[in-house]
Structure 1
Amino acid sequence: MAEAAFHLICGSTGAGKSTYAQTLAHDLGGLHFAIDQWMVTLFWQDSPQPIEFDWTMARIDRCEAMIFETAKQAVSIGVPVILDLGFTKAAHRQKFADLAKQANAPVILHVLDVPVDTRWARVQARNATKGETYAMEVDRSMFDFVETMWELPDPAEMAALNGRFVGA
């Protein structure tokens, strides 16, 4: 088994984060946490229509708090954790890096940087096939909204979080 660490998987919508995270968890003998699975299982059936940003973010925050507590326990017994939480913003990545530091665990940032046209094509295919990584329908407005939030890590962040660019 690999060293117990917090592996932060980041990229924008359709970058291949979930597929990569599942493979990494298998390869490392680690535990994979996917925010989309938590949200769909716990809250989506009760969600307001249309989706409300504040309603969604409050529930994401709750899920992330529970994910972190469980991940901290896993790392404490030597199990690597793979956090597939989007991590579109630098502040979000730093929050989890700080939590990992408090838990005395190393952080490794995995960055999937894929061209927007490729990602949108992947999202359309995932919507159509509803395959293994499908959690919910992502329409163009949702895709474009996330695009406005995506912050590619800069060299300083990559260095601080042991970052690596990975193929998708």
Structure 2
Amino acid sequence: MIHLIIGTQGAGKSTYSMNLAEKINGIHLSIDDWMQELFGPDLPVPMDFGWIMIRVHRCEQRIWSTAVKIAQTGGNVILDLGFMKVQNRSLYLGLAKEHGISTQLHYINAQLPTRLERVMKRNADKSKTYSFEVSPAMFHYMENEFEPPTEDELKDIVFINTDESI
């Protein structure tokens, strides 16, 4: 099975994903980990969104290929790719269906002040889920990019509110 973890920055997706992986003996695949390890040292200054997105797409392709192999051999995969857009989630759900792989959506949510506070604290502490600095401007930009789950997605979703946890 492939678990798709969706939510905005600071909601607790990475923490939830790592905990879920441990609970179900699954493999956690995070876009942040891949991007930081493969491209972090080469990140242009100032940041170039086009440069980043080309590499995100490459990582997503490799992560997907790895996820399919794991799932087809009976393993559980937790995809921590953000899944900010409905179109992106639909694409991965469709690809899984084409491969005969079952899926589960998990929507991780928390209130905006909680999420912003977590992200700023993660920047300062460089904690376990820290991969790169997220400026307040970047946080607010990404906030506007997120598309909440649709009615269809909500039918079979695992909803987790992390305002009181994490």
Q: Which TM-score applies when normalising by structure 1?
A: 0.94
* Other-structure match for 1:167: 161
Question: Matches of 2:111 and 2:94 in 1, distance apart?
Answer: 29
* Other-structure match for 1:90: 86
Identity of counterpart residues, as a percentage? 42
Question: Matches of 1:165 and 1:127 in 2, distance apart?
Answer: 26
Alignment of 1:15-164 (within 5 A): 15-159=11-155, 162-164=156-158
- Report how far residue 58 of structure 1 moved: 0.6
Misfit runs of 4+, over 3 Å = none
Question: Matches of 1:128 and 1:47 in 2, distance apart?
Answer: 20
Q: Deviations over 1:25-72 (max 9, x none)?
A: 000100000000100000111121111111111100000000011100
* Structure 2: gaps spanning 5 or more residues: none
Q: Which TM-score applies when normalising by structure 2?
A: 0.95
* Structure 1: gaps spanning 5 or more residues: none
Q: Structure 2 counterpart of 1:156, which letter?
A: D
Please report the RMSD computed on the Cα atoms of aligned residues, expressed in angstroms.
Answer: 0.9
Q: Structure 1 counterpart of 2:64, which letter?
A: F
- Report how far residue 128 of structure 1 moved: 1.1
Question: Matches of 1:142 and 1:58 in 2, distance apart?
Answer: 18
When the two structures are aligned, how many residues end up with a matched partner? Answer: 162
Q: Structure 1 counterpart of 2:140, which letter?
A: D
Q: Deviations over 1:74-120 (max 9, x none)?
A: 00111010000001111111111111111111111000121111000
Question: Matches of 1:158 and 1:50 in 2, distance apart?
Answer: 38
Q: Structure 2 counterpart of 1:48, which letter?
A: P
